Amino acid sequence: MQFSAAQIAQIINGTVEGNPDIVVNSFGRIEEAHSGQLAFLANPKYEDYLYTTGASIIIISDTQEIKQEITSTLIRVPDAYSSFAVLLDKYQQLKSQMLTGIQEPVFIHATVKKGDHIFIGAFAYLGEQVIIGNGSKIHPGAYLGNNVTIGENSIIHPGVKIYHDCKIGSGVVIHANTVIGGDGFGFAPQADGSLKKVPQIGNVIIEDFVEIGSNTTIDRATIGSTIIRSGAKLDNLLQIAHNVEVGNNTVIAAQTGVSGSTKIGKNVMIGGQAGIVGHIQIADGTKINAQSGVSKTIKLPNTAVTGSPAYDYTSALRSQAIAKNLPQLEKRVKELEEMVKRLQNNQ
């Protein structure tokens, strides 16, 4: 696919400086892009490459000053990074629209309902009463159990497993090898010391415009639903336990674990390798630092916490500053003790 500078500027509401008819057919990083590629400049530390890059077109900020001669055509926008993201999304949509049809071999049960302009890749399995919405793409090797619903324009990448009765919304992206709807970790201790499995008869509901990374697991509810609300973004390698709720537009970084029945509010940001215990609530707008261990409910919205057990971020920074000075403080205490002893001996 080829696009001219004028066409790109129209998509991202930018202003062209240079040749509006010049075309590009791929993307490149500004430090290594060549003729026929589109790049962008958002980080000031890459500014020098603006004058040496081979890129045909560069997206830059309205406020970017030009200090030397430039051979590339520029497209100015208020926010170069956001505009580049919009352009990449549009490009991905166009590529996805080209992918349609059903490859062989696949298993598609006779009761499956298929929308228009869908794609089902080879070796996919679609069980009884599955529903695939218009424009959705099921990539090779995916498994959709009985009564699974996929909304419109969603993408299920290779090797994804979606167990029975789970509901996936529209505009959802689930990356390779993620498992949706596996059993929650529920076992009842018995008098003889053994553990009896508690049947997990609920499901998982993933609302619209959620993105889930590779190799993440989201367990089905014991009863009811595990819910990922609209707009949430989940990284690779997460464990979301049974009956958890993740709020709208919340982001969770890799290797985080959330224990059962915890309710996470909207617009929460959770850093990598955080651990959250079960049956607590995390208020809207909370920021949880990487490797934090959250063991209690966070009631106050827009709170920032860190550490294990997690506590107020500002207080934690003060404690760290004091901890760095402990050797010097110890030395001063010993000097004061010696001074006190001398004073006592001179009485």
- Which residues are bridge partners to 4 per DSSP? 23
Residue positions annotated with a catalytic role: 242
Residues near 162 by beta carbon (within 8 Å), at least 6 away in sequence: 142, 143, 144, 145, 148, 156, 168, 174, 180, 181
Query: How far is the CA of 297 from the CAs of 101, 122, 184, 287, 317, in angstroms?
Result: 48, 46, 22, 13, 21
Phi, psi for 10 (deg, rounded to 5): -65, -40
Chain centroid offset of residue 131 CA: 26
The answer to whether 46 and 59 are in contact (CB under 8 A) is: no
Cβ neighbours around 80 below 10 Å, total = 23
Chain centroid offset of residue 224 CA: 25
The answer to whether 122 and 106 are in contact (CB under 8 A) is: yes
